[in-house]
Amino acid sequence: MSILVSNVTKSYGHQKALDDVSFTIPAGEIVGFIGPNGAGKSTMMKIITGFFSADSGNVSVCGLKAGPGATEMKRMIGYLPENNPLYTDMYVREYLGYVADLYRMGKKSRDAVNSVIERTGLTPEPGTKIRALSKGYRQRVGLAQALIHDPQVLILDEPTTGLDPNQIVEIRNLISEAGREKTVMLSTHIMQEVEAICSRVIIIDHGHIVADGPIDEISSLAGARLEETFRQLTGNR
């Protein structure tokens, strides 16, 4: 099992962000993780990636317990956060080399950088400063840094926010390509994105899982598209 979440609870003061959340994601599955603003999506993803600790419950990735000190577990994950923090004064190749060094890739670093540049369509831009890139190309750099150490699991938080329609299609294609050999957990507000990329959807609302299953089954709960089911389950009308 690539991702195992068992009875996870997380509170901020008196506010419960997650309340006894459980789910599993097997290897090789692309799963959409969706919910309204403040539903607990980003908190759950940050617990899985080891940036936050749960108050109670257990999380493991590829059989390794998650947590802020779980170095080996973190190597199993490629993470693209919502705000894609890049060093904009660095050149594309320079930045990816820096990320490779953080993962202590040693002699494999050069080949890994070249491979991920080609894989994410950055071939025209390795000598460009990140600040000069379009938002679409910046997202490609974000995906490249998430993939550079060849993780088994990809965690992507709002990967197409702010992109134009052509850029959205390009990033979706890159995610689908990565999903052929990796487990992908994708958080997004765009229902069409989930329908286009994912085989399964998990819906969270007020810190609780309210639906979990194949896209077509969840969509049929409201007798319509996924967006209508989402609105009915989360009260967003």
Q: Determine the pLDDT at residue 194.
A: 92
Does any domain span residue 180?
yes
204 shares a domain with 219: yes
In this structure, are residues 197 and 168 in contact, taking their beta carbons and an 8 Å threshold? no
Number of separate domains in the chain: 2
pLDDT in tens, 141-156: 999 999 999 999 999 9
Strand partners, 90: none
157 shares a domain with 138: no
Mean local confidence (pLDDT), 93-110:
93
Q: Determine the pLDDT at residue 237.
A: 43
Mean local confidence (pLDDT), 133-146:
92
Distances (CA, A) of 108 to 91, 94, 117, 125, 142: 20, 15, 14, 21, 20
215 shares a domain with 189: yes
Q: Determine the pLDDT at residue 168.
A: 87
214 shares a domain with 164: yes
223 shares a domain with 162: yes
Q: How confident is the model at residue 17 (pLDDT cuts 50, 70, 90)?
A: very high
Q: Determine the pLDDT at residue 164.
A: 85
CATH number for 192: 3.40.50.300
16 shares a domain with 42: yes
Domain carrying residue 139: 86-150
Residue at a domain's end among 96, 129, 150:
150
96 shares a domain with 54: no
Q: Determine the pLDDT at residue 115.
A: 94
- Picking from 53, 96, 73, the residue whose alpha carbon sits closest to that of residue 2 is 73
pLDDT in tens, 166-185: 888 888 998 998 888 899 99
142 shares a domain with 30: no
Does any domain span residue 67?
yes
Q: Determine the pLDDT at residue 160.
A: 86
pLDDT in tens, 28-74: 899 999 999 889 998 999 999 999 999 999 999 999 999 888 889 98
93 pLDDT higher than 90: yes
The average confidence (pLDDT) of the chain is 91
Residue at a domain's end among 150, 168, 189:
150
Decide: pTM greater than 0.75.
Answer: yes
Q: Determine the pLDDT at residue 178.
A: 87
Give the strand order in the sheet containing 56-61. 15-25, 3-12, 56-61, 64-65
Does any domain span residue 25?
yes
pLDDT in tens, 217-228: 988 876 668 888
Does any domain span residue 81?
no
